[in-house]
Chain A
Amino acid sequence: MARQRRLAEPYKIKMVEPIKMTTRTERETELQKAGFNTFLLESPKVYIDLLTDSGTSAMSDNQWAGMMLGDEAYAGSVNWRHLWDAVEDIYGFKYMCPTHQGRGAEHLISQILIKPGDFIPGNMYFTTTREHQERAGGAFVDIVIDQAHDAQKDHPFKGNVDLGKLEVLIKKVGPDKIPYVSVAVTVNMAGGQPVSMANLRAVRELCNRYQRSDGRPIRILFDATRCAENAYFIQQREEGYRDKPVRAILREMMSYGDGCTMSGKKDNLVNIGGFAATNEKDVYDKLTQLVVVFEGMPTYGGLAGRDMEAMARGIYEMVDDDYLAFRIGQVRYLGEQLVSAGVPIVRPVGGHAVFLDARAFLDHVPQAEYPAQALAAALYLDSGVRGMERGNVSAGRDKEGQERFPKLELVRLTIPRRVYTNSHMDVVADSVIHLHGERKNIGGLKMVYEPPQLRFFTARFAPLERVGLWEFVEG
């Protein structure tokens, strides 16, 4: 592979937040206090925080300036108008309703569109999305291509919809039982994998062939959370898009859908905010009625005026080609260092995170001993880097109370936007590579406290044996 030219950040630093390196002894104490669960670590004890890319971005000076222009009027805030215009301009949707974050928008859309007995096909589930669909009485149906479930399969658009699976479902249940097809761009649970333009176009054509009884084609809604990152992958990987600006690519992507839910905390480069957008007047009218109950007036949706302004400005910044080249390049930079050192990761590297393949990394630890949880704990112990378990613990138990043992047993190293430098990435890479060399010293864990629901957030663990890396643990 030809050496890639180095890219420097297309921004300089205007404000900083000090972070503190802890000692090994301190981390031993903190890890035990947190029950070997990185979710339970206190943020000041974390050196490099790769738990999530959600709401952790550094805003620009332009966005902070927007924060000072917040119009906190309950009705008719000027910032709402700016946000509306930005969504119309960049996404191309006619109507927009702000919400406090992405799951607020998912909740409203699920309540409005899904009836009991409906099916919602989607390119892989996401935890909160599926929960909202099920609560509204719908059933999620996975229609992502098979390659998405295989960590080691290389594919440029691993998030693609399997058109065959979608058509089988439509024929089986009929268009009226499908309130919408949910297309995530990019697909988070598959590792931030993109969907190709050709695939989006084909999904649209397929949905157009099947009309619902109200005469409209089957609706397509995007989970547009990381849509700009997806657009950048199309520019880089898909025939015919190399010379198109990301902004135009994103508009084309969105033109194949009827609306979207958006977590502004990812690609819109804000710490809080989201929205639902639609081209359908009747859907928008229902949104404005329901948003009042759960979020706030339709002209603020549970956000301060200043946060709508920051999001409106972030929407323009996210489609900057230079920004995206650096953003995706930084994630790849970390991934490639790990690959060169022989560390098993999910391939290809996605848009917002590098996923360590914990099953291959700790092939001596059975899945029942939570290898991904153990690896995340080991990483914190080694260098103060916080990642997130995405494996057996996150998957939880099925209705019979059995653990689900998902195919993917991963540690997610999520890169916040514009926050860390490549030197920070080097620290992370050094630590992971070091642990890989010492992997036989990392033993499995047992769960000592298990909450009934969403256990990964608050579960507590302890090493099975006080050996190797876990020798420090007090009996």
Chain B
Amino acid sequence: MDSPKAGEPGWWPEAEPFRIKVVETIRRVTRPEREKLIEEVGFNVFGLRSEAVYIDLLTDSGTSAMSDAQWAGLMVGDEAYAGSRSFYRLQEAVAGVMGFPLVIPTHQGRAAENVLFTTLVRPGDVVPNNMHFDTTRAHVEHRGATALDLVTEDAYDPVADLPFKGNIDLDKLEKTLARRQKPTAGTAPAAGADLSIPFVLITVTCNSGGGQPVSMANLRAASEICRRHEVPLYLDAARFAENAFFIKLREPGYGNRAVREIAREMFSYVDGCTMSGKKDGLVNIGGFIALRDPEVYQRATVWAVLFEGFPTYGGLAGRDMEAMSRGLEEVVDEDYLAYRVGHVAYLGRSLKEAGVPIIEPVGGHAVYLDALRFLPNLPREQYPAQALTVELYVEGGVRGVEIGTVLAGRDPATGENRFPRLEMVRLAIPRRVYTRQHLDVVAGACRRVLERRGQLRGLAFTHEPPVLRHFTARFERL
């Protein structure tokens, strides 16, 4: 391979900016065993016990390796129910890294969504987002509101090599906000105004779109539109640091700015955020809501107490707040982010060179295999992405996850499969856990499956749960 330059796809520093302090043994079970195990769990990798998996790329959520400083933080956690010093540490870290004065800890990101949405979303509301993640959508819909995806059209093109495919479509945003029932003070409601919009969300990076970043210019413009229409803007900030690093790499004028400053600028455009600490908080458990408005904070604490815990611990052990506050400081380290983004890009580049079809450009936390191009001969009724996920496990003991028809479920009205625009296998890379050699094994497994793709068979359901079928469904090979 030619060595790419800093900022180009596939570039990464010479070596990891850390050394290994504690290890966890993993083992690759034999191929005949893997054949047997996958059949036992009905060809669904969610059913596999973790010991049966050699390299686990199911998710980057909660699977990070914490640093020695974070582990040390675990030992100094203050478990007081009220006024824990670990809470004040978290508050300082959030203020320092994000610039928000008010924090409500929650046990993880979806709990932050639950608390904030219960506070702000009413039945009949519409919540615009660049692209809702599945739990976010579930929380919006659970309250009888509509989740509206306004991402740019480019996000749906798997091969368009564009720098900021997570951007929200500003034109669509403007048109949506113009339809608000409650118009800007001093103006008459527009004709046909029919929407109640409690806030706008932007997800950075855009997870459902493949971990694609949102540009600073886009955030700034979206913020301006929201302010003009007097609608609050919130970030789903789960991967904010990865997004900030992409801005540094790709957006004119940011190449010499510190990631920390870039992150602060991103947050300066919004009223608050929900955060899953399990991603860019570099922890195994934890999340929070961060806010500027004391009135929203007061209302949200009432729900936090009911669903999570007292506002100074929010359903977390004190030690986990301590670890998260240290993780927030570590994640904006430039060397770490260069390694992290480069590490993921390295897998993408290896796959591309082997001719494996992937979604481009490679995002911040995962590489997505394009199952429709990988298995062009398998009809979508036979769940090609699910079949590919299964083969990858059999071939290399690697666990990815289907992001396609199985995940999309059936239309509640017609009972028919909802075929999404993309049919993918996500290979999510846990932070600081696997080495480049592990990624070579993954790439090798993908390449070998590609070589025998003509022999791959499709799948059919033998057990299909009514909701969230992907977790517990069972299949048979056709």
Contact = CB atoms under 8 A, between A and B. Distances in A.
A78 B25 CA distance: 13
Given A303-B285, A304-B62, A78 B309 contact: no
A70 B65 CA distance: 11
Contacts, number: 156
A103 B304 CA distance: 11
Contact of B471 (A41, A298, A453): A298
A23 interface: no
A352 to B, nearest CB: 13
B336 interface: no
A68 B284 CA distance: 12
Interface stretch (B77-85, B190-198, B253-261): B77-85
B107 A44 contact: no
B63 A272 contact: no
Interface stretch (A50-58, A355-363, A433-441): A50-58
A74 B59 contact: yes
A52 B81 contact: yes
Contacts of B78: 43-44
Nearest to A272: B317
Given A41-B83, A292-B468, A72 B77 contact: no
B208 to A, nearest CB: 16
A52 B313 CA distance: 13
B337 to A, nearest CB: 22
Interface bin, chain B: 35 or more
Given A51-B80, A56-B80, A457-B310, A44 B85 contact: yes
Interface string B1-37: 0000000000000000000001000000000000000
Interface string B50-80: 1111001011011100000000001101111
A457 B284 contact: no
B114 interface: yes
Nearest to A451: B298
Contacts of B315: 100-101, 104, 272, 302
A302 B63 contact: no
Interface string A211-255: 000000000000000000000000000000000000000000000
B393 to A, nearest CB: 12
B285 A302 contact: yes
A131 B468 CA distance: 28
Given A70-B284, A76-B50, A289 B467 contact: yes
B50 A78 contact: yes
A120 B62 CA distance: 37
Contacts of A300: 62
A72 B62 contact: yes
A76 B399 CA distance: 12
Nearest to B287: A302
Contacts of A49: 80
Given A71-B50, A78-B50, A302-B107, A271 B317 contact: yes
B114 A73 contact: no
A271 B318 CA distance: 8
A100 B467 contact: no
B139 A293 contact: yes
A40 B83 contact: yes
B108 interface: yes
Interface in B315-352: 315-320
A72 B472 CA distance: 19
A288 interface: yes
B467 A41 contact: no
A136 to B, nearest CB: 12
B110 A103 contact: no
B79 A76 contact: no
A188 B267 CA distance: 43
B114 A294 contact: yes
B138 A293 contact: yes
B38 interface: no
A199 interface: no
B306 interface: yes
A363 to B, nearest CB: 29
A73 B111 contact: no
A107 interface: yes
Contact of B51 (A43, A78, A302): A78
A305 interface: yes
Contacts of B77: 271
Nearest to A39: B82
A137 interface: no
Given A75-B50, A294-B307, A307 B317 contact: yes
Interface in B231-247: none
A276 to B, nearest CB: 15
Given A56-B81, A302-B108, A302-B111, A272 B320 contact: yes
A43 B471 contact: no
A76 B302 contact: no
Nearest to A286: B467
A406 interface: no
Interface in B108-126: 108, 110-111, 114
B53 A304 contact: no
Interface stretch (B41-49, B374-382, B437-445): B41-49
B82 A51 contact: yes
B88 interface: yes
Interface in A269-312: 271-272, 288-289, 292-298, 300, 302-307
A175 to B, nearest CB: 27
Nearest to B107: A100
Contact of A75 (B46, B110, B320): B46
Contact of A42 (B52, B85, B108): B85
A41 B313 CA distance: 14
B25 to A, nearest CB: 11
B298 to A, nearest CB: 7
A42 B86 CA distance: 11
B62 A76 contact: no
A288 B79 contact: no
Contact of B63 (A46, A73, A104, A107): A73
A73 B50 contact: yes
A131 B142 CA distance: 19
Given A72-B284, A132-B306, A135-B306, 8 more contacts: A43-B78, A43-B83, A68-B22, A74-B61, A292-B468, A296-B110, A303-B107, A307-B317
17 contacts: A51-B82, A55-B79, A56-B80, A74-B58, A76-B53, A100-B316, A103-B308, A104-B315, A131-B306, A135-B306, A288-B471, A289-B468, A293-B110, A293-B114, A294-B110, A304-B285, A304-B320
Interface of B: 22, 45-53, 56, 58-59, 61-63, 74-75, 77-85, 88, 107-108, 110-111, 114, 135, 138-139, 142, 284-285, 298, 301-302, 305-311, 313, 315-320, 465, 467-468, 471-472
Q: Which 10 A-B pairs have the closest CB atoms?
A: A43-B80, A73-B50, A100-B107, A271-B317, A304-B285, A272-B317, A304-B284, A76-B49, A42-B83, A74-B59
